[in-house]
Structure 1
Amino acid sequence: MIRLYTEDDFVKMRAAAEILCQTHLAIKKVIKAGISTKALDDFANKFIVDHKKAIPAQLGYGDFPYTLCISVNDEICHGFPSDYILKDGDLVSIDNVVNLNGGLADSCWSYKIGDLSDRNQELMDTTLFALNEAIKEAIPGNRIGDIGNRIQTIAEVDHDFSVIRDFIGHGIGKEMHEDPQVPHYGKAHRGPRIQKGMVFTIEPMIASGNWQSKIDDNGWVARTVDGSTCCQFEHQLIIHEDGPEVITDQSKYQLTDDDLAFIDAYKF
C-alpha cells in the first residue's frame, strides 16, 4: 500500500530534514584522514541526541547497532562504523535517518578523503548527477520506472559503471521503509504512477565494477563482489502537484552558531 501524506506530515518531515542536513554539514567539517569511522558515528550521535534532541532512527532499527551507516570504498551500504582509520583516496558514503517528533528524514551523502583516483572521482560525480537527473522524473503522471531507467542510462550507457540491483529507494513516512519500492534500474513507463502526496527516497548506489553484492558475516554490511568502489547519494522527496520538493537538499540549511560551537568544543 502506498500512503499519501498531507501538509501536516510534511511539516514534521521538514523539521527532521533540517537536523539531518545539519548533521551532514557538521560531518563535512570534521571528516578527514586519520579519523576512525566509529569516531564519526559517536560524533553524529552526540550531535543528534544531545545537541539537537532528536532520535537517530537507524540506531536499533532491526537491531542495527549504530547511528550512521558508514560505507567505505567497496562497501555498498549498511557499513558498520569501526576502528578503521580513514586515509587519503577513500570514498565514504554516510547514510543518516533522523526522527523528530514522529517526522522522518533520510539522506545518504558521499565524501572524498583527500584526492580520489580519476576513476573514483568520475564515479562520485556520476552518481550525484544521476540522482539529480532522476529527481526531474519524479513528477505526477510519470511512473517509478522512469526514475530507475534514467539512473541506469546515465550509469551504464553514458558511463562504464553499474547500478546495484539488490538495494533500492523506498517510501518513507509513518515508517522508515514503505511502498513504493524505487529501483535505480529498469524500464521506463513501468511501475506505480507517481502521485501528489507520495514521499520516497531516490538513492542510487553505483559501482565502478560489477553490480553484484555480497553480505558480510555480521548480516548487514553489503559490498561489491569484485572489490570495486561503490558510491551512494540519497535524497528524500515530497511529491507536490507541480513536482518534487527535495527536503534533504543541504543547500537549504546552514549550521547555527550553537552548532559551530558544539563542533569546535567536541573532542575526538
Structure 2
Amino acid sequence: MAINIKSQWELERMAETGRLHTEIFALLEAHIRPGVSTYELDQIVLEAIHAKGGQAPQIGYRAGGNVPFPSATCMSVDDVVVHGLPSKKPLQEGQLLKVDFLFTYQGFTTDMARTYAIGKVSPEAERLMQVTEEAFWVGLEYLKPGNRLGDVAHAVQEFVEKKHGLWIVREMSGHGVGRELHEDPSVLNYGEPGKGAKLRPGMTLAFEPMVTLFPTNLVILSDGWTATAGRGNLAAHYENTVAVTEEGPRLLTGSPRFAPGVLAR
C-alpha cells in the first residue's frame, strides 16, 4: 500500500478544489424536486464544473475492465446505493436521491456525496438519511493522527448497526483521493479497532458511510455499474473529502456542523 502524503501546499490546492466542489452541490440543490430527471441534474452539474474551470473525471472512467462510465455524476435512486446512471425518467415524490461525483481542478480531485429527499418522504427514509449523515460525523472524530482506520470503521459500524439497527454496506468503501481519483488506502465503514493503516498528517481521504434499511448483499446490474441493495430496500450515502492534520480532521468539502445536534448539509 502506497499512501500519498500531501504537503501543506497540496492541501491548500485541494481545499480550493473542495470549496468549488461544495459550491456546485449548493447550486444543484436548488434544482432537486419532483418532476426533474437525473439526466437534467447531471447536465446542470457538468455545466457548473466547466463554468468553474474544472473537469468531470468520472466521464470515461473504467474500473476493473468495466465499460467506461458515461456521465459526470452518479445519480442513485431509492435502493441503488452508488454508481447509478443518470436517466430521463422524472423523479417522483417520496424517492431518495443520492448524488455523488468527483471534481478535478488544476490537477487535484475531491469527492463528495449527499442524499436528498424528493418532496416528502417516509419516516423510515428520513431516519435513514439522518443516521447516515450522523455516522459521518461520528467517524470523523476518529480521523486523527495516531488512530487507525479500523478505529474509524468500528465507530461507524457500532453507531449504525448496534445503536440504530440499520446496515453498513460491505461491498463499497471510501478511499484516498487527491492527485488521483482513487488512491490508497481503502476506507471501510466496518471493522475492528486497532486494525488498518495508521492515520498520518497529510493523508486525504474520501470518507463515505453508505447505509441501507435492511441487511443485504449488493447486486451490480447489467449496465456494469448500478449497485442495488434490492427491491424494497432503501440506501443513503454521505461523503466528504477529509484531510488528516496535526490539529485533527479538516473538511475539504462540505461545511462543519454549526451547533450541537444540527447536521450540516
Same fold, judged at TM 0.5 (above): yes
Given residue 148 of structure 2, which amino acid in structure 1 is its aligned partner?
Answer: R
TM-score where L is the length of structure 1: 0.91
Distance, in Å, in 2 between the alignment partners of 1:245 and 1:16 is: 14
Distance, in Å, in 1 between the alignment partners of 2:196 and 2:98 is: 28
> Counterpart of 1:118?
123
The change in CA–CA distance for 1:6 and 1:109 in structure 2 (over 3 A counts) is: same
Indicate the percent of aligned positions where both proteins have the same amino acid. 30
> Counterpart of 2:263?
none
> Counterpart of 2:56?
56
SS at match of 2:30: helix
Deviation at 1:225, TM superposition (A): 3.2
Distance, in Å, in 2 between the alignment partners of 1:115 and 1:154 is: 26
Q: Which has the higher helix share?
A: 1
Deviation at 1:96, TM superposition (A): 1.5
Distance, in Å, in 1 between the alignment partners of 2:44 and 2:178 is: 26
Deviation at 1:242, TM superposition (A): 1.4
Could you say what the CA RMSD is over the residues aligned between the two structures, in angstroms?
1.2
The change in CA–CA distance for 1:121 and 1:243 in structure 2 (over 3 A counts) is: same
Given residue 137 of structure 1, which amino acid in structure 2 is its aligned partner?
Answer: Y
Deviation at 1:251, TM superposition (A): 6.2
Tell whether 2:242 aligns with 1:237: yes
Structure-to-structure mapping, 1:93-132, within 5 angstroms: 93-132=98-137
Distance, in Å, in 1 between the alignment partners of 2:216 and 2:182 is: 23
Given residue 10 of structure 1, which amino acid in structure 2 is its aligned partner?
Answer: L
The superposition leaves residues 191-247 of structure 1 with CA deviations (integer Å, 9 ceiling, x where unpaired) of: 111011111111011000123100010100100035400000001111111111011
User: Where has structure 1 moved over 4 Å in runs of 4 or more?
Assistant: none
Given residue 145 of structure 1, which amino acid in structure 2 is its aligned partner?
Answer: G
Distance, in Å, in 1 between the alignment partners of 2:171 and 2:152 is: 16
- Of 206, 209, 224, 1:201 maps to 206
Tell whether 2:145 aligns with 1:145: no
Tell whether 2:135 aligns with 1:134: no
Tell whether 2:187 aligns with 1:182: yes
TM-score where L is the length of structure 2: 0.92
Unaligned runs of 5+ in 1: 253-268
Distance, in Å, in 1 between the alignment partners of 2:215 and 2:56 is: 32
Given residue 53 of structure 1, which amino acid in structure 2 is its aligned partner?
Answer: G
Distance, in Å, in 2 between the alignment partners of 1:22 and 1:134 is: 24
The superposition leaves residues 27-64 of structure 1 with CA deviations (integer Å, 9 ceiling, x where unpaired) of: 11111000000000011111111x21210121121121
Distance, in Å, in 1 between the alignment partners of 2:142 and 2:124 is: 27
> Counterpart of 1:24?
25
